[in-house]
Amino acid sequence: MLSAFKAYLSSFRFLKKHGLTWFLWFPLIITLLVFFGGFTLTAWATEIFSSLLNDLLKDASWLPEWAGFINGVVYWVLWIILRILLYFVFAFIGGSIILLMMSPILTWLSERVGQELGDEIVDFSFAQFIRDLTRAAGLALTNGFYQLLLAILCVGIGFIPVIGLAAPFILFGVNAYFYGYNFVDYALERKQLSVRQSRLFVWKNKFSSLSLGAPFALWNLIPFIGPMTSGFIAVFATVVGTIEVERITKKLQHEG
């Protein structure tokens, strides 16, 4: 894992060396959109519920003097509850949401990194871009689904005496593997590997994937701040993942 952290740090130097640091503006913009979008959504929901309650209280002729007070209390209770729910949503799946939204950006970044590494880049095709984008988004959703199922399984294991002590470590490993898978796949899809071929590639190089995703998974454990800033870490991870794919494929070509 230590080597992975060093690779993340060196990825910033890679971005700076090749004039690609402007990619860091994208996670900032997306993070702000997600953050303010979440608060706007909760504010809208609070207003809707409060308005519905106010309409109900108007018909309650037996408490005209208390209607305003009750509506005010319920409004602020809803305001607090919805923002607590928003916090937990961001804390647990905020990273996945931002990662999904950044799929087209990370696909583009992987292409630019591959280009700087001397990889042959095919001419731009809008149809191919849409296919790659759909593939990346679909894979992120599929992996997120598997992560959720395995997370539920780990929670169940956690209730088993003695064995349950290993559940948090297993869950961390699962998350690290799938995160690493996502970052590696941006380069694999550019090489026209099918989803099945991509899965086989990642499984054969599972320890590389695990090591690559571990810093990202660890960062997401930081309450609220981690998931909300995970877009920046995803940029570094994509650089590292692309470099790793290029290293492995060149090694295979040399051996072949």
| Per-residue model confidence (pLDDT) at position 239 | 94
Report the candidate in 244, 251, 19 with the shortest Cα–Cα distance to residue 112. Answer: 19
| Per-residue model confidence (pLDDT) at position 36 | 81
- Which tokens in the block code for residue 61? 């002729």
| Per-residue model confidence (pLDDT) at position 124 | 59
| Per-residue model confidence (pLDDT) at position 237 | 93
How far is 242 from 238, CA to CA, in rounded Å? 6
Residue-wise DSSP of 63-102: -TTTHHHHHHHHHHHHHHHHHHHHHHHHHHHHHHHHHHHT
In the structure, what pLDDT confidence band is assigned to residue 62 with cuts at 50, 70 and 90?
low
90 vs 184: which has the higher pLDDT: 184
pLDDT tens sequence across 24-48: 999 999 888 887 877 788 778 777 7
Biggest alpha carbon–alpha carbon distance for the chain = 85
How far is 105 from 129, CA to CA, in rounded Å? 12
How far is 175 from 177, CA to CA, in rounded Å? 5
Average pLDDT over residues 202-217: 89
In the structure, what pLDDT confidence band is assigned to residue 162 with cuts at 50, 70 and 90?
confident
Residue 94 has pLDDT above 70, yes or no: no
| Per-residue model confidence (pLDDT) at position 182 | 86
